[in-house]
Amino acid sequence: MGFSEKFVWGAATASYQVEGAAYEGGKGEHIWDVACKRGRDIYHFHTAESGCDHYHRFREDVAIMKETGLKAYRFSLSWTRLFPDGRGELNPEGVRFYNELIDELLRAGIEPYVTLFHWDYPYQLYLRGGWLNPDSPVWFEEYAAKVAELFSDRVKYFITVNEPQCFIGLGLYKGEHAPFLKLSPEEALLAWHNALKANGLAVRALRAHAKQPLQIGIAIANDVLMPYTQADAALAEAENFIPRTDNFFTNSLFTDPVVFGRYPEGMAEAFGAEFIYDQADMETIKCDIDFIGLNIYHGSYVKSDGKGGAVRVTPGMNMPLTDMRWPVTPESLYYGPKAFYKRYGLPIYITENGVAVTEWPSADGGVHDAARTEYIRGYLRQLKRAAEDGADIRGYFYWSFMDNFEWAEGFSKRFGLVYVDYDTKQRIPKDSARAYRDIIAANGADL
């Protein structure tokens, strides 16, 4: 037993993190462009204006993907590369770029998995209220419909939104990501509600305008809670979906409305907010997705507090930390997918999992990232265990294919299988890329 013969092995990126060409080819500004121009919220005033230059070097990158053995590439479309103002006139240069990228992937035998929105909200629509504007769901619906018309003849797999926990929770509530706002709980929940409506409309628009049958899903950020001892297993599983105070990272806040058509009980109370919405909206929000994408990097261990609740267990001094200061917890790729599959009964993709490591080329010109290789193997062993225990795991996308712009952290963190020299744009496949190639070739049999 193990991964199925049709298991999808891939890697992922996002448009602003890798494309560069921020002011080329007719692209309009989005909120991260503007944040980088202001600079004050980004590490060392870094900007992804040229970045990895995937826009000009995508053929070289696809060749490296093929050499690495990737079967799929998950990437996002830049909304403003297609619609410079978010709506209105379509930009032919943006259409050309994505057409050429998709065609190049297919020639290489690599399946494109396309994300419609990965945080780079059009600045002109932001000036009109962004996700707080009651028309924002329709704006996203229009965008999704055009994407289907343009690309669904060749693209079968679409992800509507990536990590609402981040673009709402961190961007509009915690003030840690663009546009760096700290809205009230009531305002943030309204934006969340509109994003859910947008997702529901986008799913329907993709299907209505599709040129072939599609597989459509969402990708959410996960805060996986794991049992400290086996006696805590049921407790940890339940705690994964209970709204927690002041926290958009509760696993059920997006998926319960999308799958079940209802918010998790106690959500508004957890935020201490008065949350009023039209119940009829839930008919729009509930939609027929085909899979759930989980972005899992780490988890937290919990145990009983002796009062029917749970407390987190403080990690010991020997707990390894990544360059993001995240704990290395491979079991999160076991407990997370299992809990989601049990609750929702939908196929699971790991749409992001990876590690930032401090590294640089050695004297021999290579990048010898043993820690990343060990990370990948350890997490995949646990994912394989989840599959063997009955969870329907369809694929795994390493984050990320190449080193890139890590949002507010700028270029200070390196997640990639491929090293990027940001001055020369040279690509160097790391040792982990070759290790991943071998894992793919064996379909994970020898983890």
Query: Which residues are marked as active site?
Result: 163, 352
Structure-block tokens of residue 44: 């060392």
242 burial via Cβ count (<10 Å: 0-12, 13-18, 19+): middle
Between the CA of residue 37 and those of 34, 47, 86, 403, what are the distances in Å? Answer: 5, 7, 19, 21
Closest residue by Cα to residue 115 from 253, 218, 197, 31: 218
Output phi, psi for 185, to 5 deg. Answer: -55, -40
Contact between residue 117 and residue 79 where contact means Cβ atoms under 8 Å apart: yes
What does each C-alpha distance from 158 to 152, 208, 214 come to in angstroms? 9, 14, 7
Q: What per-residue string of b and e applies to 245-268 under the rule 16 or more CB within 10 Å gives b?
A: eeebebbbbbbbbbbeeebbeebb
How big is the CA angle at 115 (ends 345 and 21), to the nearest 5 degrees? 165
Categorise residue 129: left if φ over 0, alpha if ψ from -120 to 50, beta otherwise: left
Phi, psi dihedrals of residue 160, rounded to the nearest 5°? -70, -60
- Give the containing element (helix H, strand E) for 257: helix 252-260
By DSSP bridging, strand 8-12 and strand 157-162 are unpaired
Pick from 321, 434, 436, 291: nearest CA to 377: 436
- Bridge-based pairing state of the strands 157-162 and 72-76: unpaired
Q: Any idea which residue has 């759930």 for tokens? A: 292
From 384, 436, 439, 423, select the one nearest 53 (Cα to Cα).
423
